[in-house]
Copies of this chain bind each other. A is one copy, B any other.
């Protein structure tokens, strides 16, 4: 990791560092008192306060307040930058063409500016809960219903992408939709769209929503739309997969 940091930089030092850092596609970090104006898909304003600003090599911009995970303002990758000094203030503008939007950051004071070159080639592996459920279901469809057989692990319809297309023990087609969290109304509607499309060709088509739990309203809707709900939670699925000797790595790590 190469880079430098300047504490309480002069305006000129700061401008130079910013231009250099962004121009060379480095990571730029700034701490200071700044205000933010945004206009694009929406618009926002935020008066002066002490915040952390980050510009990444891909053109991403992040402005963080002292609380919350989410940045208060940001700009997605690919943004273009302009920096200048005006009336003793350092201004940094980020611009994006499509959709057209811009963020203007005005610094009243800069306490810290840093420019670093990060090397990070590692692969990020994410194991999502839905993935785990689906994997377990494919190995053991009886987790949802005895006699169920998986026909297609994914099926593309006009209405969208079906999680799992199956047939039951009576050869009736079954659409299975997984939700890792408590299923809400939108989940029911999503399943309903798939089943609707298929029922036009075959009114016998069943739809099963599989989730660890379901909201009261969603359950009512499941019934009124002639769909079904089956309880299945992720922990159970993990156990099933483990028992089939395909342990999930991060679990092992945290067991040690």
Residues of A within 8 A of B (CB): 1, 3, 5, 7, 27, 29, 31-33, 35, 37-39, 41-52, 54, 56-58, 60-62, 64-69, 71-72, 74-77, 102, 109, 111-112, 114, 116, 118-129, 158-160, 180, 185-186, 189-190, 192-193, 217, 248-251, 253-254
Contact = CB atoms under 8 A, between A and B. Distances in A.
Given A37-B254, A44-B126, A56-B66, A217 B118 contact: no
Nearest to A224: B196
Nearest to A120: B49
Given A29-B29, A45-B249, A186-B190, 15 more contacts: A1-B32, A1-B111, A27-B52, A37-B250, A42-B126, A42-B127, A44-B124, A44-B127, A50-B119, A50-B120, A60-B69, A66-B118, A69-B71, A159-B217, A189-B192
Given A64-B54, A189-B189, A217-B159, A125 B1 contact: no
Contact of A124 (B72, B126, B159): B72
B7 A122 contact: no
A78 to B, nearest CB: 10
A22 to B, nearest CB: 13
20 contacts: A1-B33, A1-B109, A5-B5, A5-B112, A27-B66, A29-B29, A29-B52, A42-B127, A43-B249, A44-B124, A47-B122, A49-B118, A50-B118, A60-B69, A65-B118, A65-B120, A66-B119, A102-B254, A112-B114, A112-B116
B49 A56 contact: no
Contacts of A129: 41-42
Nearest to A73: B124
A57 to B, nearest CB: 5
Contacts of A118: 31, 49-52, 65-66
B180 A41 contact: yes
